[in-house]
Structure 1
Amino acid sequence: MNEHLISYLIQFHAVRDYFECHELLEEYWKQHPEDRYAHLYVALIQVAVGQYHERRGNRSGAVKMYQSATSKLKLSSLTPLGISSEDLLEQLDERVQAASLGLEFEDIDMWITDESLLQECMRRTDSLSLEWGAPSPKWDDALIHRHKLRDRSEVIAARAAAQELRRSRENS
């Protein structure tokens, strides 16, 4: 079982830390570009980012992420990962409609079809004293606005280095 996927699912369903979901799977995806399910991880990242945006009130950002995830999931099934694509596609459609209409945010709950994956997620959730399927905390600013609280010095330094490299190539 993919440890990053399990961690993602726990963050998604028990902590509701959609920002962390994105971070976990993106780290794995970037480190393993050869993984045959990389495109599915990208779709799951987009689902989490969509939830993060929608919960923060960025409805247009949420709709874009949901639609992008939907496009990927229509091309490939999540079945090999033990998740129902059909159910998730229905929920994504509902979230697109709700976000477009400005309706209240609701968490997505993915239907995990692989019983051993579900049992492992539940075991770990219990060991962390978390509740699987608990609704998002509506007033937890540290969770809802997580991107504003993180240390971005590495990202800023990497971007500056890439920009400097481009400049030096242009001047060569």
Structure 2
Amino acid sequence: MYSYPLSYLSFLAHFHEDRDYFECHEVLEEFWKEKTDQAPDSVWVGLIQMAVSLYHHRRGNFIGAKKLMTKAVAIFHKREEELGELSIDREALLHQLSCRLREIENEESFTDMAIPFSDTKIVKQYRDFLQSSFLPAEEPAAEYIYHKHKMRDRSDVLAAREESLRTRRQLAAAAK
């Protein structure tokens, strides 16, 4: 039904609909790890860095926002053809990000942005995805979206880390 990866469509939905840039990162990072060669300069990493830069900018973390936006822009210049394959208007996006980088450097207030598309194919699939698949739960409070990395439930991640540490200690003890 879709010619674009579902993770990409989900990224776009979080980017444009609920402006949950942290979730954009989560969705694409999982895709990048599981479905790609994990190149550190892939277009997927650029999209992740762009979203996280916006997350930092909205929170007033200008240093983090600048660092990630600079990296994203460098990747996009290198991967312009791949942006086109994702139906992103390369010139318009790079212009937007150049302006955004200046705003970050001048420590200007955050404003929303939209990823510019280059054809109607992505727009149709994006709309179809929204209607059929993107069913956000009740709208989260802005405070949660703005500070998600601090407020989300990470108990499963922490439990997995603790189990991994316990296993490594047991293996080290057994090796002695």
TM-score range relative to shorter protein: 0.7 to 0.9
Residue 109 of structure 2 aligns with which residue?
A: 104
Q: Which amino acid aligns with 1:110?
A: I
How far is the alpha carbon of 1:156 from its aligned partner?
3.0
How far is the alpha carbon of 1:28 from its aligned partner?
0.7
Q: Distance in 2 between matches of 1:66 and 1:35?
A: 20
Residue 114 of structure 1 aligns with which residue?
A: 119
Q: Distance in 2 between matches of 1:92 and 1:60?
A: 16
> Over residues 58-99 of structure 1, what are the superposed CA-to-partner deviations in whole Å (9 max), with x where a residue is unaligned?
111111110010111111110111112222111111111111
How far is the alpha carbon of 1:100 from its aligned partner?
1.3
How far is the alpha carbon of 1:27 from its aligned partner?
0.7
What SS does the corresponding residue of 1:112 show, helix, strand or coil?
Answer: coil
Residue 152 of structure 1 aligns with which residue?
A: 154
Structure 1 residues 91 and 168, CA, compared in 2 at 3 Å: closer, same or farther?
farther
Structure 1 residues 162 and 72, CA, compared in 2 at 3 Å: closer, same or farther?
farther
Q: Distance in 1 between matches of 2:130 and 2:151?
A: 25
> Over residues 40-71 of structure 1, what are the superposed CA-to-partner deviations in whole Å (9 max), with x where a residue is unaligned?
11100001000100001111111111001011
How far is the alpha carbon of 1:153 from its aligned partner?
2.7
How far is the alpha carbon of 1:117 from its aligned partner?
1.3
How far is the alpha carbon of 1:157 from its aligned partner?
4.0
The 5-angstrom pairing of residues 35-114 of structure 1 reads: 39-77=42-80, 78-114=83-119
Question: TM-score scaled by structure 1?
Answer: 0.81
Select 2:15's aligned residue among 9, 12, 17.
12
Structure 2 gap segments, 5+ residues each: none
Structure 1 residues 158 and 87, CA, compared in 2 at 3 Å: closer, same or farther?
farther
How far is the alpha carbon of 1:34 from its aligned partner?
3.0
**Structure with max Cα Rg:** 2
What SS does the corresponding residue of 1:107 show, helix, strand or coil?
Answer: coil
Segments ≥4 residues shifted beyond 6 Å: none
Q: Distance in 2 between matches of 1:140 and 1:118?
A: 26
How far is the alpha carbon of 1:125 from its aligned partner?
3.5
> When the two structures are aligned, how many residues end up with a matched partner?
163
Structure 1 gap segments, 5+ residues each: 131-136
Q: Which amino acid aligns with 1:8?
A: F
